[in-house]
């Protein structure tokens, strides 16, 4: 896919005469307002995007992101990055009954000091990744686009959305991993207005593929490549010279939504997904060695009050469950293997129980304060030999947003956020007597980083300007800074963005 053609096509769409845009910062203020997005979970259903905003807004921007940690929170994801991104996005009200939205982006840069991972999309595929003990930096290149359409027919609203990502990661020194991944999500939704409420349901599908291989150009520097299976274990039989695999899977998504239209009322969001990933060794006649099944559930319910002083209160639960199955292969016959039995060896469960709320005041200039309290429960287990890593944490998060409009041509935005994660309990069980020294260090560092008390601070400042003589086109600058600190590490992340709105 050619990134330049993708960006150019989207720019032509955004500049089309069908677009109706405010000539000042009115649309920007609505789209940037945190209160407008307080029911953000409902917008996962494309039918609800029709009433998400009352104004149209398009943006084109260039951003640079930099992150660096004193030690990696997780060695498989590295200790820093430098990434550049160019993107366009748009939300257009074509008529009172028709809305379209979409975007495209191109990202390139480097992820630094990745170890024990030679596979892209680690967060999606773990624990079943290829790995070696050397590691290094990875070059990253990503193309993405999305588009959606919603139409209202009397009391009914229909919506559809597509989201696509293609990503390429590689290294130009030994060991030389290369991962090429594609990720496609399709969703449709239906909603109906009942009095002051919008009720809807949606379904979707997701398909994922990745080809992954590791090469060595120096025959004297070859090291074994491992097929990891969780908590420091690996598929011993195929460790070493088998350095090519691919991942594929097709999953499903479903959601139910209830939200108030323009006034006070209750809201409810329930969403679930199921995604399997099959890991197949291409060098052994497409032998499947593992299957990862990922299930997620997200529920949130609350009340939103509109008035001179706006407020909202909610409670929610998020859960991710992973089950890993290993296929045991029989003896080879002309390099062909047959799967004899499947064993469920790895299990992981992450839960987040939380309550929260927000208060907002003001109309032209606005201030919103939001807070959240929660409890995290993380448990991972490998069956044989017994390995276990678990911890629980309580956390609190407090933040605010200030939007200040000095005339219709200027808008200032300031966001700030602080969070504290306090460890309540932790447990680790490992067969250290038979573990390799480097694997022992990896497991212990991961455990120490995940279970440590953690502080997070972040702030974002932005200025938007619409000169009258520019006839509806504006410019903006945005800067973000975040800092994380624990007894194990500290981390800094920054982002700078410049763009135009129209």
What is d(CA 380, CA 446) in angstroms, rounded to the nearest whole number? 12
Q: Answer whether residue 200 shows pLDDT above 80.
A: yes
pLDDT in tens, 464-496: 999 988 888 999 999 999 999 999 999 999 999
Under DSSP, is residue 236 helix (H, G, I), strand (E, B) or coil?
helix
Q: Answer whether residue 292 shows pLDDT above 80.
A: yes
What is d(CA 435, CA 440) in angstroms, rounded to the nearest whole number? 6
Domain residue limits, the chain: 3-501
What is the pTM (predicted TM-score) of this model?
Answer: 0.91
Burial of 17 (0-12, 13-18, 19+ CB in 10 A): exposed
Structural tokens at position 498: 């410049």
The residue-averaged pLDDT of 33-56 equals 90
What is d(CA 99, CA 107) in angstroms, rounded to the nearest whole number? 27
| Predicted pLDDT of residue 367 | 96
Average pLDDT along the chain: 93
Under DSSP, is residue 274 helix (H, G, I), strand (E, B) or coil?
strand
The residue-averaged pLDDT of 290-317 equals 96
Task: Report the DSSP beta bridge partners of residue 200.
Answer: 191, 257
Within 10 angstroms of residue 204's Cβ, the number of other Cβ atoms is 23
| Predicted pLDDT of residue 1 | 46
| Predicted pLDDT of residue 499 | 97
Spatial contact of 393 and 486, defined as CB atoms under 8 Å apart: no
The residue-averaged pLDDT of 183-212 equals 96
How far CA 208 is from CA of 143, 183, 185, 249, 326, in Å, comes to 15, 5, 9, 5, 20
How far CA 375 is from CA of 85, 123, 319, 392, 422, in Å, comes to 34, 21, 12, 7, 9
| Predicted pLDDT of residue 335 | 64
| Predicted pLDDT of residue 312 | 96
Q: Which of 377, 388, 438, 441 is nearest to 231 (CA)?
A: 388
Binned at pLDDT 50, 70 and 90, residue 215 comes out as: very high
| Predicted pLDDT of residue 22 | 54
> CA angle, 192 as apex, 363 and 148 as ends, to 5°?
75
pLDDT in tens, 313-334: 999 999 999 999 999 987 766 6
| Predicted pLDDT of residue 17 | 42
| Predicted pLDDT of residue 334 | 60
Percentage of the residues of the chain whose pLDDT score is greater than 70: 95
Give me the half-sphere count of Cα atoms (radius 13 Å) on the Cβ side of residue 75.
Answer: 25
| Predicted pLDDT of residue 40 | 81
| Predicted pLDDT of residue 65 | 98
Q: Answer whether residue 19 shows pLDDT above 60.
A: no
Binned at pLDDT 50, 70 and 90, residue 5 comes out as: very low
What is d(CA 452, CA 393) in angstroms, rounded to the nearest whole number? 9
What is d(CA 50, CA 100) in angstroms, rounded to the nearest whole number? 8
The residue-averaged pLDDT of 382-393 equals 97
Q: Answer whether residue 233 shows pLDDT above 60.
A: yes
Q: Answer whether residue 378 shows pLDDT above 90.
A: yes
| Predicted pLDDT of residue 221 | 76
Between residues 330 and 288, the one the model is more confident about: 288
Exposure pattern of 244-266 as b/e (b: 16+ CB <10 Å)?
bbbbbbebebebbbbbbeeeebe
Measured between its terminal Cα atoms, the distance across the chain in Å is 27
Q: In what order do the strands lie in the sheet with 226-230?
A: 130-131, 226-230, 233-234
> Phi and psi of 74, rounded to 5°?
-145, 120
Percentage of the residues of the chain whose pLDDT score is greater than 90: 82
pLDDT in tens, 145-181: 999 999 999 999 999 999 999 999 999 999 999 999 9
Q: Answer whether residue 18 shows pLDDT above 60.
A: no
């Amino acid at each position: 896919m050619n990134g330049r053609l993708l960006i150019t096509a989207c720019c032509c769409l955004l500049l089309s005469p069908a677009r109706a845009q405010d000539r000042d910062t009115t649309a920007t203020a609505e789209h940037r307002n945190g209160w407008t997005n307080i029911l953000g979970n409902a917008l996962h259903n494309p039918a609800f995007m029709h009433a998400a905003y009352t104004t149209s807004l398009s943006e084109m921007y260039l951003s640079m992101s930099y992150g660096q940690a004193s030690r990696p929170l997780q060695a498989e994801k590295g200790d820093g990055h430098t990434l550049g991104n160019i993107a366009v996005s748009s939300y257009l009200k074509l008529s009172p009954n028709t809305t379209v939205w979409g975007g495209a982006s191109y990202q390139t840069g480097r992820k630094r000091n990745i170890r024990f991972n030679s596979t892209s999309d680690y967060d999606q595929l773990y624990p079943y990744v290829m790995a070696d003990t050397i590691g290094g930096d990875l070059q990253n290149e990503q193309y993405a686009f999305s588009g959606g359409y919603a139409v209202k027919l009397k009391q009914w609203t229909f919506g559809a959305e597509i989201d696509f990502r293609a990503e390429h990661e590689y290294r130009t020194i030994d060991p030389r991993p290369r991962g090429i991944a594609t990720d496609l999500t399709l969703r449709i939704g239906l909603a109906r207005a009942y009095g002051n409420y919008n009720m809807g349901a949606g379904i979707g599908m997701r398909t994922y593929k990745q080809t992954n291989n590791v090469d060595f150009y120096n025959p004297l520097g070859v090291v074994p490549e491992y097929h990891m299976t969780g908590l420091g274990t690996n598929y011993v039989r195929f460790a070493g010279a088998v350095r090519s695999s691919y991942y594929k899977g097709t999953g499903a998504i479903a959601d139910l939504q209830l939200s108030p239209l323009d006034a006070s009322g209750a809201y409810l969001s329930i969403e679930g997904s199921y995604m399997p990933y099959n890991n197949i060794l291409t060098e052994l006649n497409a032998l499947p060695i593992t299957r990862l099944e990922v299930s997620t559930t997200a529920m949130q319910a609350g009340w939103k009050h509109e008035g001179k002083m706006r407020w909202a209160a909610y409670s929610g639960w998020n859960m991710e469950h992973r089950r890993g199955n290993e296929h045991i292969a029989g003896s080879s016959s002309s390099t062909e293997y047959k799967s004899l039995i499947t064993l469920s060896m790895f299990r992981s469960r992450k839960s987040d129980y939380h309550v929260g709320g927000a208060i907002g005041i003001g109309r032209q200039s606005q201030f919103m304060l939001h807070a959240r309290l929660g409890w995290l429960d993380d448990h991972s287990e490998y069956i044989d030999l017994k390995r276990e890593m678990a911890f629980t944490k309580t956390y609190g998060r407090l933040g605010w947003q200030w939007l200040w409009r000095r005339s219709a041509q200027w808008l200032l935005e300031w966001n700030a956020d602080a969070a504290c994660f306090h460890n309540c309990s932790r447990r680790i069980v490992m067969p250290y007597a038979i573990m390799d020294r480097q694997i022992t260090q990896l497991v212990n560092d991961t455990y120490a980083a995940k279970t440590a008390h953690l502080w997070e601070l972040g702030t974002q400042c932005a200025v938007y300007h619409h000169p009258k003589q520019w006839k509806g086109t504006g410019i903006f600058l945005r800067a973000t800074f975040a800092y994380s600190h624990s007894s194990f590490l500290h981390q800094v992340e920054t982002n700078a963005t410049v763009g135009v709105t129209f």
